[in-house]
Chains A and B, each alone.
Chain A
Amino acid sequence: MSRRDHVFTLGIEEEFQIIDPETRELRSHIQEILADGKVLLKEHVKSEMHQSVVELGTEICSDVRCVRQEVLQLRSELAMLAAHDGLKIASAGTHPFSHWMDQLITVDERYTTIVKDMQQIARANLIFGLHVHVGIPDREAGIDIMNQARYFLPHLYALSVNSPFWLGQNTGLKAYRQMIFERFPRTGIPDAFESLSEYEDYLKLLVTTGCIDNAKKIWWDIRLHPFYDTIEFRICDAQSRVEDTIALAAIMQAIVVKLHRLRSENVTFRMYPRRLIDENRWRASRYGLDGKMIDFGRNCETDERELLHEMLEFIGPEIDELGSQRELAHIERIIREGTGADRQLAVWERTGDMKVVVDHIVDETYEGLMLTHAKAA
């Protein structure tokens, strides 16, 4: 199949916080939202392990414009549902101060098993991510693209950092969410796989030996989805503004298209071992856009902003083809003005009040929503 015949579809999952607008604490409220949301959101809304978390997932979308519509609509409807009960929604990698010990666990066999299995690691896993699926033509190409795309993960993460606070503390990191999630097994950047069969054998072995019951319990920063023909990017913190979410999705889509094109031209992005890519991953988590990352081709440290410009240039033709110029412009705005973490930290420095940080996240989460709906909130 030539690249042009294939549509690199998009699907987006966002995890939201349910917030009490008085206390600004998380509220364990998913049951009510699910009950009311059945009609409005159907299978697009899901509960998570903690009752104060709600996940929204779009349909399969043919392009960025379509996915923006979906995300706007879903967020608006969720905001409306929350408003019925006087609550708000907020989108960021962590809640600045609410404690995991105060959250209720969703009643469900599956979550009971997870807590029994993972103990405090599961109970403390109160984090919020953005997952982006990009459709691929076939799974053999998929594993190859996954291998190559690993290199870009720290750069994508640097753009998306949005979790500087944890349990009321300024952690000093731009993104603390990864530090929480890393305590789970099968997280982080995966090793490269020689072939689709090697990947499938690995999954089978984990199931045979009782490590997992199914391949969805592989939680890497990127994965070839076990059931769908998609590459799933799972590294990003949840994004406050709709524009942030869509811009990151557009970049991921362009990267997949680019790497697929290279493959058809018999070229490949260089493959590095995880232990090297991890160095950049740590730097992204610590410094976001404000640090240096390693360019392993040149073997030197370079300002992250400069490397991001190079990355954008690398995928420039694909951005044009996919019609994602608006999203590219938004990425450039993030590079100029700062990430979600930078904005949270700026509010904190200005006010010294984490409740105001929550208000700020809520405001950004509602930015651009369909106002007749969202205004009720």
Chain B
Amino acid sequence: MRRARAARDDTRETEPICADLRRLSSWRLLDKMTAEDHVYTLGIEEEFAIVDPQTRELRSHIQEILEGGKVLLKEQIKPEMHQSVVELGTEICSSITNAREHVIELRSKLASLAGKAGLRIASAGTHPFSHWRDQLITEGERYKEIVKDMQQLARANLIFGLHVHVGIPNRESAIHVMNQARYFLPHIYALSVNSPFWVGQDTGLKGYRLKVFERFPRTGIPDAFESLSEYEDYCKLLVKTGCVDNAKKIWWDIRLHPFFDTLEVRVCDAQSRVDDTLAMAALIQAVIAKLYKLLRHNTTFRVYRRRLLDENRWRASRYGIEGKLIDFGREAEVETRSLLNELIEFVSTEVDELGSKREMAHIERIMREGTGADRQLAAFQRTNDLKAVVDQIVAETYEGLTIAEADAAAR
């Protein structure tokens, strides 16, 4: 694997250049395909919390899991800055069905590894109550650097995201697709909100994770770029002036990956159920396929400024799918659910081609039954116990896993 693995989060170890080059060449092969032939490959990265089933607190346990996981998960498992976080990245997947198999397999293996140590895994944008101050930082020069540089912002950055990569035919088109796809990030986020609690408090927001991450520079929705060159000049300037050592330290909600020909959507909270993850991935894939098709037909979705898109981003974070978002074409507030139905309609032509009907049906289920945040909040209202919320997240994280040990562990 490849791309998904290289496209790391803020805290990832720099990878050997030779490995990068190998991956690069595999992606470049896609250039030779015509646009019609192009396969919108998928890569999915998920960040998990390691949880103690007795206390329901986070457990700083990545070292042991890495030890055990070397054989089972190979390079598809990665530590993060906090030792209670573990990241899984799939191979490059040719289709959503293929991606589903990978995600289930990886989650199952991780659950089994954790189970051996008497621990559980949990997937949500934040842990409901564990405090960042109590977490150990992973050893290594790189993490020391980040903490030295970012101080409390880094230590407090105990959040969990879902990153979806979609392969694209070439980087010039990709920049334009990225510009247009910015519009849909708040809509996608509204569906994925899964972090209403922070350090034991009900924040009143559906997606608090973005508020924690926003304190980092180079986050949020990017500006639109005129061209690939403008983007590349910007990256070069940041490196030259010592702002970043490489372009992986650009942490926008969407980015053209610095090394691989993928668009990476990073806005989503980690999703509890496998079905949720796949549904987000399918929607993202369909949006990108649709926008690329528009481009080939010499049309474009309108490009709006960040200061406008940010209004919707805030609303998504605050209300999830319960609020209203702005339709900037109509210049009116519209129920988020209604806009999401329009979005589903907009990409429906691609869904057939991409074979993601099942996943899109799950999006509709989320719209009917609520987001991860809504389910967490319901559990809390029912029990008034954040430990019960953790139990629910764990149960959902294990839903549909295949390994017997994982099932056993969940019980």
Query: Which residues of A are at the interface with B, using a C-beta cutoff of 8 A?
Result: 117-121, 166, 169, 171-173, 176, 179, 182-183, 185-186, 190-191, 202, 205-206, 208-211, 273-276, 278-279, 282, 286, 292, 294, 299-301
Complex contact B151–A301 (CB within 8 A): no
Given A206-B311, A278-B217, check contact A173 B153 (CB 8 Å): yes
Given A173-B152, A209-B333, A282-B217, check contact A299 B237 (CB 8 Å): yes
B242 at interface by CB-CB < 8 Å:
yes
B116 at interface by CB-CB < 8 Å:
no
Instruction: Point out the residues of chain B lying under 8 angstroms from A176, CB to CB.
Output: 152
A118 to B203, CA, bound (A): 10
Instruction: Point out the residues of chain B lying under 8 angstroms from A118, CB to CB.
Output: 318
Q: Which residues of B313-339 have CB atoms within 8 Å of chain A's CB atoms?
A: 313-314, 318, 324, 326, 331-333
Complex contact A294–B241 (CB within 8 A): yes
A354 to B56, CA, bound (A): 33
A-B pairs, top 5 by smallest CB distance, nearest first, are: A119-B204, A172-B151, A120-B203, A185-B314, A282-B217
Quote the shortest CB–CB distance from B329 to chain A (angstroms): 12
A-contacting 9-mer, from B163-171, B302-310, B364-372: B302-310
Number of A-B contacts (CB under 8 A): 88
Task: Indicate the member of A179, A182, A206, A275 with the most B CB atoms within 10 Å.
Answer: A275
Complex contact A120–B153 (CB within 8 A): no
Q: Closest residue to A212 on the B side, CB-wise? A: B311
Quote the shortest CB–CB distance from B183 to chain A (angstroms): 15
Complex contact B152–A169 (CB within 8 A): yes
Complex contact A274–B223 (CB within 8 A): yes
How extensive is the interface on chain B, given as a class? 35 or more
Instruction: Point out the residues of chain A lying under 8 angstroms from B115, CB to CB.
Output: none
Quote the shortest CB–CB distance from A239 to chain B (angstroms): 23
Instruction: Point out the residues of chain B lying under 8 angstroms from A273, CB to CB.
Output: 223
Instruction: Point out the residues of chain A lying under 8 angstroms from B203, CB to CB.
Output: 119-121
Quote the shortest CB–CB distance from A241 to chain B (angstroms): 26
Instruction: Point out the residues of chain A lying under 8 angstroms from B333, CB to CB.
Output: 209-210
Instruction: Point out the residues of chain A lying under 8 angstroms from B306, CB to CB.
Output: 191, 274
Instruction: Point out the residues of chain B lying under 8 angstroms from A120, CB to CB.
Output: 198, 201-205, 208
- In-complex Cβ contact of A171 among B149, B151, B241, B242 (8 A): B151
A16 to B201, CA, bound (A): 28
Q: Closest residue to B310 on the A side, CB-wise? A: A185
A292 to B149, CA, bound (A): 13
Q: Closest residue to B204 on the A side, CB-wise? A: A119
B296 at interface by CB-CB < 8 Å:
no
10 contacts between A and B (CB under 8 A): A120-B201, A171-B152, A172-B151, A182-B215, A191-B306, A191-B307, A202-B308, A209-B333, A275-B222, A282-B217
B388 at interface by CB-CB < 8 Å:
no
Interface string of B354-368 (1 = CB under 8 A from A): 000000000000000
Task: Indicate the member of A182, A211, A299 with the most B CB atoms within 10 Å.
Answer: A211
Q: Closest residue to A292 on the B side, CB-wise? A: B242
Complex contact B307–A279 (CB within 8 A): no
Complex contact B204–A211 (CB within 8 A): no
B142 at interface by CB-CB < 8 Å:
no
A186 to B202, CA, bound (A): 24
A274 to B217, CA, bound (A): 12
A211 to B312, CA, bound (A): 9
Quote the shortest CB–CB distance from B196 to chain A (angstroms): 10
Instruction: Point out the residues of chain B lying under 8 angstroms from A190, CB to CB.
Output: 307
Given A209-B326, A209-B333, check contact A183 B234 (CB 8 Å): no
Task: Indicate the member of B153, B318, B324 with the most A CB atoms within 10 Å.
Answer: B153
A183 to B314, CA, bound (A): 9
Complex contact A209–B243 (CB within 8 A): no
Quote the shortest CB–CB distance from B323 to chain A (angstroms): 10
B214 at interface by CB-CB < 8 Å:
yes
Instruction: Point out the residues of chain A lying under 8 angstroms from B308, CB to CB.
Output: 202, 205
A158 to B150, CA, bound (A): 17
Quote the shortest CB–CB distance from B190 to chain A (angstroms): 15
Instruction: Point out the residues of chain A lying under 8 angstroms from B238, CB to CB.
Output: 279
Given A206-B311, A279-B241, A292-B242, check contact A182 B152 (CB 8 Å): no
Complex contact A183–B211 (CB within 8 A): yes
B38 at interface by CB-CB < 8 Å:
no
A274 to B238, CA, bound (A): 13
Complex contact A209–B331 (CB within 8 A): yes
- In-complex Cβ contact of A179 among B149, B215, B305, B332 (8 A): B215
Quote the shortest CB–CB distance from A81 to chain B (angstroms): 34
Instruction: Point out the residues of chain B lying under 8 angstroms from A183, CB to CB.
Output: 211, 214
A205 to B331, CA, bound (A): 7
Quote the shortest CB–CB distance from A49 to chain B (angstroms): 15
Interface string of B185-215 (1 = CB under 8 A from A): 0000000000000100111110010010011
Q: Closest residue to A286 on the B side, CB-wise? A: B151
Quote the shortest CB–CB distance from B48 to chain A (angstroms): 25
